[in-house]
Amino acid sequence: MSASPPTPVTCSSCGTTTPDPALTGMVEHDRVRGTSWVCGECLRGNVRAVEAKLDRAWW
Ligand SMILES: [Zn+2]
């Protein structure tokens, strides 16, 4: 037990799970949902998707 193992995280966007969030992805802090993690692939493609969803939600 030389070091604490990385905590597996699940992408809040696509639902994929990775044992090491430090390799890729980004942790997001949301006041409502708390801390969530988004994988590297979703980081690029999901930004617009989220914005689109928000736009639709407003409409
Ligand atoms: Zn993802």
For the stretch 1-54, pLDDT in tens is 666 666 788 888 889 888 876 667 888 887 887 888 888 888 887 566 666 666
- Three-state SS for 13? coil
Nearest one of 10, 11, 13 to 48, comparing CA atoms: 13
Residues lining ion ligand 1 (Cβ < 5 A) are: 11, 13-14, 39, 42
Give pLDDT, residue 45: 73
- Ligand 1 centroid–CA 2 distance in Å is 30
Give pLDDT, residue 32: 81
Give pLDDT, residue 22: 65
- Ligand 1 centroid–CA 32 distance in Å is 20
Give pLDDT, residue 27: 83
57 pLDDT tier (thresholds 50, 70, 90): low
- Ligand 1 centroid–CA 5 distance in Å is 21
